[in-house]
């Protein structure tokens, strides 16, 4: 080919251009961020190209996720980016075995096998790689290069959820707030990316041999490469020169179609731009019809305000509230008449201790002798840390603080919606009490800070970005599932040349829809929650969000002028309530602040198998504050609550008793993975095999390490964590080398209740053995038996079991019949024992006047790696914990509204029905991320509970192991339970 060839790679955040000559040599290249305005950047880029090559005729070829639509619309050639990368690799390094490419929002792996290439891209859920690092960088108050610098010097890797950016973020925020070192966090972020890539993309193929690294993040971050190399044990790594433009180079190599003059392309882009005219395909109504409407809106919201007085003109008592939130820290000082004397609002940008120190110093700078700080309270994520560090007088869970503040502005308030940086909190208020609390699940959080991060990535101040939205004429519809999806929707809108103000308006509307339809899940807000609505939280400072909320609900709401400070204000109000005439606050004075020093140290608690990662903060005065612990033991307290009944711990220990006996001689050994329904059926299988003289060998207790040992064979990255763990258990079992491994498919369970429609197991529980066989073929599969059995028909069971087992051990049908009876008896004994224990626990709670929580989950939720030690956390709060299957037998036989056909779910419904009749007993539903069936159960349980006036609380769990958010949910629930109890005249 005589003419020059041009490859143009338009990714989610950057544009890369490469021009090559007839010898495939690069003679021109550029790499720019497009700041979301693709057509504009294209114009600039082509003008530069024109300057260099005047109006030369060349072969053009586009590639990259954002280039597809553009190329199609201007009639240019397009090559899919993975194909481009493959071509480039084939040309520059023909001996590559595997290539890992991380882009702005995509992750790809290519396996080269002779002439065959197997290419994989991340699914739509696992998004967030380069853009994810950018987001994380802003949390660490640095940029992508800064993260790399930080990661060079780390001591300890924290567990950061690797599923998606939002999850990781909710892990990192608390770490930061607890004062963990930024170096460790930076390295942990990289490790999370490595884990995500391996777990999500390798899917059973080993990444080894000569491995190429491609894409921006891997090119620019030496430490990210290091994490890959270390984790995968790589020896031969290939880094192409010009790695960041490598895909564009591939596209240039692939450029074959009719050559065009540069000017022709420029003209076509101009025409395309004109045609789309900033109008994107899916658009929504603008926030305001006209200017008049906008002015009326702004005027109305100027009204709800708290007076600020000149601090110098004030003398008397003052009350301090500090809200150490997930992304921001807020401080407020109020006077005797609740007037604002001083306020402070700032981004954490790392360690909250430094931030609060600065905030307090700033406050002291303004105080004068006429003012006495009587009491100081903290709240928010970092409430405990702040309280201990600065000697505050008290702290309260943030939900209660917000409620207090809201009531101040509107005593008749019926509904409070708070959207902060990370959390959404909504409360319904009845009879002056919080009657239901809705908190967002980890997967939809981050919405407020998302707008901010996004505006920053576009180079705008959040204030300006929010104002732009008000002028948006055709807001882009960005969907409402989660921010990763929003990211890609934004990408799509950008490639369609949507105006920035429309994107900003679209984001605001998405946040609101997320709150309404995903978190609150209201179809008609006023009907369910009344008309006295108060909105607050930093996100509502954004007028566009406020407007979108009013438009979506059709209600005019109150937004206090201190919408971002409400938590702190609520804490200050509590401080005022708690104040006593004769003493003043213990809070560190200016001198104390000057001398304030701390050291944060990472440690691991070894008091039980949970091995909590602790952060030990040692303050200047020698006091220590420990965070990251699940139970009281980790915090170093003397008092323990071992006597408080806890069915999750009880069941787990009970299961561990199903072991072969020491003094029996066995004919063979069978390996059983302790996964999914084995947590239910082990009391059958162990005695069953024992009766056949077969020794059972169980896989080890679940752990992160065990999980990681099997993560590269997981075929579906959106499946639930309990299922993903199966792979690690299988690896572990094979190491133990039993004679054979037994893991049956069990589509059906026992029919426990006559009212249920059927008695299925969920599809994943029922058939996971099939996935093991299809994806773990590096194991000795001849030893793996996965029959289809049901325990509810003895005759059929005996036939099947005999047919299968006789090849491995010498047994007759009669033996199996007998063993079946023994197994079944043992299983029912187990069930009855759990039920007895459940009843006894209820009795204990009543006698000792304790709160009780029923954890509604599945049998496998007793696995401490799955429940992340939350049961221990509950015990440390002096609360009795029941499991759903310890009380479900007490329920009546009435049917529920949904098709009730899964045995485990029937138990959930029944348990919910039982507690509606009990005082001081509430339910918390444990839901594994990705559990499709729980979309049905959670709705139904919520209905059952709320119809009876009970609170519904849900905790979503995944690989996440940080408990900050869980803590807030549980403490809010307990606080409401205690208040309720008080109302009824009990302690």
Partner 1 sequence: MAELKYDDNGRLIFTEEMRKEYTILVPQMAPFHFEYLVDAFNSEGYNAELLRTTDYELIHEGMKYSHNDICVPAMLVIGQFIDAIKKKGIDKHKVALIITQTGGGCRASNYIALLRKALKKAQLDFVPVISLNANGFEENPGFKLSPRLFHKLHEGIVFGDLMMGLVHQTRPYEKEKGAVNALKATIDEELKEYFNHRKLFTWKKSKKRIQDIIRRFSALDLDKTPKPKVGIVGEIYVKFSPLGNNHLEETLEKEGVQVVVPPLYDFFLYSFDSRAHDIRRYGGPRKERLVLKALLWYIEVRRGKVRKLMRKAGFETPISYKALKSLIDGFIDVGTHTGEGWLLTAEMVDLIKHDAPNIVCTQPFGCLPNHIAGKGMFKKLKKRFPHSNIVAIDYDTSASEINQVNRINLMVSNAFRNFEKGNSQ
Residues 916-975 contacting partner 1, CB under 8 A: 930, 932-936, 938-939
Indicate the pairing of strand 5-10 with strand 371-379.
unpaired
CB contact at 8 A, 770 and 700: no
Minimum distance, C-beta of residue 274 to partner 1, in the bound complex (Å): 22
Note whether 80 binds partner 1 by CB under 8 A: yes
Q: Please state, in angstroms and rounded to a whole number, the distance separating the CA atoms of residues 906 and 140.
A: 46
CB contact at 8 A, 261 and 57: yes
Minimum distance, C-beta of residue 899 to partner 1, in the bound complex (Å): 5
Residues forming beta bridges with residue 748, ordered by sequence position: 760
Q: Please state, in angstroms and rounded to a whole number, the distance separating the CA atoms of residues 568 and 330.
A: 6
Q: Which residues are within 8 A (CB) of 136 and not within 5 positions of it... i.e. 6 or more apart?
A: 147, 165, 168, 169, 172, 189
CB contact at 8 A, 157 and 188: yes
When the beta carbons of 767 and 806 are compared against partner 1, the nearer one is 767
Locus of tokens 């619309």: 73
Minimum distance, C-beta of residue 214 to partner 1, in the bound complex (Å): 16
Nearest in space to 403 (alpha carbons), one of 428, 423, 420: 428
Note whether 196 binds partner 1 by CB under 8 A: no
Note whether 517 binds partner 1 by CB under 8 A: yes
The tokens for 486 are 């929003």
Q: In the set 170, 173, 399, 790, which binds partner 1 (CB under 8 A)?
A: 790
Cα dihedral 726, 731, 737, 743 in deg (nearest 10): 20
Which region, judged by CB under 8 A, interacts with partner 1, from 226-234, 732-740, 795-803, 966-974? 795-803
When the beta carbons of 923 and 931 are compared against partner 1, the nearer one is 931
Minimum distance, C-beta of residue 202 to partner 1, in the bound complex (Å): 11
Q: In the set 57, 800, 878, 916, which binds partner 1 (CB under 8 A)?
A: 800
Q: Which residues are within 8 A (CB) of 737 and not within 5 positions of it... i.e. 6 or more apart?
A: none
Which region, judged by CB under 8 A, interacts with partner 1, from 559-567, 585-593, 743-751, 831-839? 743-751
Q: Please state, in angstroms and rounded to a whole number, the distance separating the CA atoms of residues 260 and 298.
A: 52
**Segment 106 to 145, residues that bind partner 1, using CB under 8 A:** 116, 118-119, 121, 123-125
Minimum distance, C-beta of residue 566 to partner 1, in the bound complex (Å): 27
- DSSP-assigned letters across all residues of 597-656: -EEEEEEE--SSTT--EEEEEEETTS-EEEES-SSTTTTT-S---TTS-BHHHHHHHHHT
When the beta carbons of 194 and 516 are compared against partner 1, the nearer one is 516
Q: In the set 39, 404, 480, 906, which binds partner 1 (CB under 8 A)?
A: 480
Residues forming beta bridges with residue 695, ordered by sequence position: 669
Note whether 82 binds partner 1 by CB under 8 A: yes
Note whether 257 binds partner 1 by CB under 8 A: no
If 0-12 CB within 10 Å is exposed, 13-18 middle and 19+ buried, where does residue 803 land?
exposed
If 0-12 CB within 10 Å is exposed, 13-18 middle and 19+ buried, where does residue 241 land?
exposed
Note whether 282 binds partner 1 by CB under 8 A: yes
The tokens for 61 are 């070829």
The tokens for 189 are 């972020």
Which region, judged by CB under 8 A, interacts with partner 1, from 48-56, 418-426, 477-485, 830-838? 477-485
CB contact at 8 A, 89 and 37: no
**Segment 696 to 715, residues that bind partner 1, using CB under 8 A:** 715
When the beta carbons of 579 and 898 are compared against partner 1, the nearer one is 898
Note whether 489 binds partner 1 by CB under 8 A: yes
Nearest in space to 335 (alpha carbons), one of 134, 579, 504, 520: 579
**Segment 306 to 345, residues that bind partner 1, using CB under 8 A:** none
Minimum distance, C-beta of residue 480 to partner 1, in the bound complex (Å): 6
CB contact at 8 A, 695 and 670: yes
Helix (H) / strand (E) element for 373: namely strand 371-379
Minimum distance, C-beta of residue 786 to partner 1, in the bound complex (Å): 8
Number of residues that bind partner 1 (CB under 8 A): 80
3-state secondary structure of 28: strand
Nearest in space to 321 (alpha carbons), one of 585, 10, 540, 102: 585
Q: In the set 226, 268, 518, 551, which binds partner 1 (CB under 8 A)?
A: 518
| Site mask for partner 1 (CB under 8 A), range 343-382, x = bound | ----------------------------------------
**Segment 716 to 735, residues that bind partner 1, using CB under 8 A:** 716, 718-719, 723
**Segment 58 to 77, residues that bind partner 1, using CB under 8 A:** 65-66, 68-69
Locus of tokens 């114009």: 43
Locus of tokens 């979301």: 36
When the beta carbons of 703 and 718 are compared against partner 1, the nearer one is 718
Q: In the set 464, 770, 810, 892, which binds partner 1 (CB under 8 A)?
A: 770
Q: In the set 289, 299, 795, 984, which binds partner 1 (CB under 8 A)?
A: 795
Q: In the set 523, 639, 664, 984, which binds partner 1 (CB under 8 A)?
A: 523
Minimum distance, C-beta of residue 813 to partner 1, in the bound complex (Å): 16
Count CA atoms closer than 13 A to 48's CA, side-chain side.
15
Instruction: From residue 197, give the alpha-carbon distance in Å to each of 120, 243, 717, 866.
Output: 11, 19, 10, 21
When the beta carbons of 597 and 758 are compared against partner 1, the nearer one is 758
Minimum distance, C-beta of residue 70 to partner 1, in the bound complex (Å): 11
Helix, strand, coil abundance in the chain, percent, nearest 5: 45, 20, 35
List strands edge to edge, sheet with 613-619. 598-604, 613-619, 624-627
When the beta carbons of 644 and 723 are compared against partner 1, the nearer one is 723
Note whether 410 binds partner 1 by CB under 8 A: no
| Site mask for partner 1 (CB under 8 A), range 802-821, x = bound | --------------------
When the beta carbons of 330 and 724 are compared against partner 1, the nearer one is 724
Note whether 583 binds partner 1 by CB under 8 A: no
Inter-axis angle of helices 291-301 and 543-553, nearest 10: 100
Which region, judged by CB under 8 A, interacts with partner 1, from 349-357, 590-598, 658-666, 752-760? 752-760
> Cα 734 from chain centroid?
32
Minimum distance, C-beta of residue 893 to partner 1, in the bound complex (Å): 12
**Segment 867 to 906, residues that bind partner 1, using CB under 8 A:** 895, 897-899, 901-902
Minimum distance, C-beta of residue 912 to partner 1, in the bound complex (Å): 16
When the beta carbons of 349 and 481 are compared against partner 1, the nearer one is 481
């Amino acid at each position: 080919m005589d003419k020059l060839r041009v490859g143009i790679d338009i990714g989610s955040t950057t544009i890369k251009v490469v021009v090559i000559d007839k010898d495939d040599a690069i003679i021109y290249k550029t790499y720019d961020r497009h700041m979301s305005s693709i057509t504009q950047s294209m114009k600039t880029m082509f003008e530069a190209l024109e300057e260099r090559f005047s109006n030369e005729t060349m072969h053009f070829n586009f590639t990259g996720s954002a280039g597809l639509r553009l190329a199609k619309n201007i009639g240019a050639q397009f090559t899919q980016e993975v194909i481009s990368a493959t071509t480039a690799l084939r040309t520059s390094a023909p001996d590559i075995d595997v290539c890992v490419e991380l882009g702005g929002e995509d992750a790809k792996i290519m396996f080269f096998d002779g002439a065959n290439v197997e290419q994989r891209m991340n699914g739509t859920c696992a998004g967030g790689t380069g853009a994810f690092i950018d987001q994380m960088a802003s949390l660490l108050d640095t940029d992508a290069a800064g993260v790399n610098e930080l990661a060079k010097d780390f001591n300890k890797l924290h567990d950061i959820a690797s599923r998606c950016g939002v999850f990781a973020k909710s892990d990192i925020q608390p770490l930061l707030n607890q004062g963990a070192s930024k170096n460790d966090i930076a390295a942990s972020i990289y490790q999370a990316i490595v884990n995500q890539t391996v777990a999500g993309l390798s899917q059973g193929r080993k990444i080894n041999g000569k491995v190429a690294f491609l894409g921006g993040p891997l090119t620019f971050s030496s430490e990210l490469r290091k994490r890959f190399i270390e984790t995968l044990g790589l020896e031969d790594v290939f880094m192409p020169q010009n790695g960041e433009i490598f895909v564009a180079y591939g596209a240039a190599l692939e450029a074959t179609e009719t050559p065009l003059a540069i000017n022709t392309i420029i003209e076509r882009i101009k025409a395309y731009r004109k045609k789309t005219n900033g109008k994107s395909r899916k658009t929504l109504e603008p926030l305001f019809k006209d200017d008049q409407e906008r002015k009326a809106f702004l005027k109305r919201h100027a009204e709800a305000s708290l007076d600020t007085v000149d601090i110098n003109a004030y003398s008397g008592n003052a009350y301090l509230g500090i809200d150490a939130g997930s992304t921001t820290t807020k401080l407020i000082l109020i006077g005797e008449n609740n007037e604002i004397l001083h306020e402070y609002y700032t981004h954490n940008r790392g360690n909250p201790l430094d931030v609060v120190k600065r905030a307090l110093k700033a406050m002291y700078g303004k105080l004068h002798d006429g003012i006495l700080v009587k009491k100081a309270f903290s709240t928010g994520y970092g409430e405990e840390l702040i309280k201990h560090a600065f000697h505050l007088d008290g702290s309260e869970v943030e939900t209660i603080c917000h409620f207090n503040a809201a009531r101040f502005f509107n005593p008749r308030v019926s509904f409070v919606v708070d959207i902060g940086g990370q959390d959404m909190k909504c409360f319904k208020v009845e009879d002056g009490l919080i009657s239901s609390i809705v908190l967002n699940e980890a997967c939809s959080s981050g919405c407020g800070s998302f707008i901010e991060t996004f505006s920053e990535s576009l180079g705008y101040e959040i204030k300006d970005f929010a104002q732009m939205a008000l002028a948006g004429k055709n807001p882009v519809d960005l969907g409402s599932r989660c921010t990763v999806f929003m990211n890609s929707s934004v990408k799509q809108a950008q490639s369609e040349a949507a105006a920035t103000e429309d994107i900003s308006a679209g984001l605001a509307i998405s946040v609101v829809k997320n709150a309404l339809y995903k978190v609150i899940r209201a179809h008609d807000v006023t009907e369910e929650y009344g008309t006295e609505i108060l909105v607050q939280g930093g996100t509502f400072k954004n007028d566009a969000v406020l407007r979108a909320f009013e438009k979506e609900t059709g209600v005019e709401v109150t937004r206090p002028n201190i919408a971002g400070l409400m938590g702190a204000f609520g804490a200050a109000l509590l401080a005022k309530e708690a104040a006593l005439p004769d003493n003043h606050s213990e809070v560190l004075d200016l001198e104390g602040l000057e001398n304030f020093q701390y050291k944060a140290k990472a440690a691991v608690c070894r008091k039980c198998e949970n091995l909590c990662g602790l952060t030990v903060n040692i303050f200047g005065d020698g006091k220590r504050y420990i965070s990251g612990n699940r139970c009281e033991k980790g915090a170093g307290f003397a008092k323990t609550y071992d006597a408080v009944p806890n069915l999750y711990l009880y069941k787990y220990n009970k299961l561990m008793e199903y072991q072969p006996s020491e003094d029996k001689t066995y004919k063979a050994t069978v390996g059983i993975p302790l996964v999914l329904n084995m947590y239910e059926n082990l009391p059958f299988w162990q005695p069953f095999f024992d009766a056949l003289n077969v020794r059972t060998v169980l896989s080890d207790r679940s752990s992160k390490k065990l999980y990681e040992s099997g993560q590269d064979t997981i075929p579906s990255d959106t499946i639930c964590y309990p299922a993903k763990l199966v792979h690690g258990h299988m690896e572990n079992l094979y190491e133990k080398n039993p004679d054979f491994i037994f893991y049956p498919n069990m589509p059906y369970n026992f029919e426990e209740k006559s009212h249920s429609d059927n008695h299925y197991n969920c599809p994943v529980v029922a058939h996971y053995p099939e996935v093991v066989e299809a994806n773990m073929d590096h194991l000795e599969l001849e030893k793996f038996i996965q029959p289809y059995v049901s325990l509810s028909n003895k005759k059929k069971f005996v036939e099947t079991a005999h047919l299968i087992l006789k090849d491995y051990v010498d047994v007759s049908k009669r033996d199996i019949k007998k063993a079946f009876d023994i197994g079944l008896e043992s299983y029912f004994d187990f069930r009855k024992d759990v039920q007895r224990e459940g009843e006894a626990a209820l009795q204990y709670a009543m006698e000792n006047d304790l709160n009780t929580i029923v954890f509604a989950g599945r049998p496998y939720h007793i696995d401490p790696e799955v429940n992340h030690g939350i049961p221990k956390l509950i015990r440390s709060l002096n609360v009795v914990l029941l499991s759903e299957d310890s009380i479900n037998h007490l329920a009546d036989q009435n049917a529920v509204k949904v098709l009730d056909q899964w045995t485990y779910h029937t138990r959930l419904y029944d348990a919910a029905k039982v507690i509606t009749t009990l005082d001081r007993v509430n339910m918390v539903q444990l839901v594994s991320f990705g559990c499709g069936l729980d979309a049905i159960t959670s709705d139904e349980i919520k209905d059952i509970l709320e119809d009876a006036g009970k609170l519904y609380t849900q905790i979503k769990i995944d690989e996440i192991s940080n408990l900050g958010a869980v803590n807030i949910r549980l403490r809010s629930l307990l606080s409401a339970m205690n208040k309720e109890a008080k109302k009824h005249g009990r302690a």
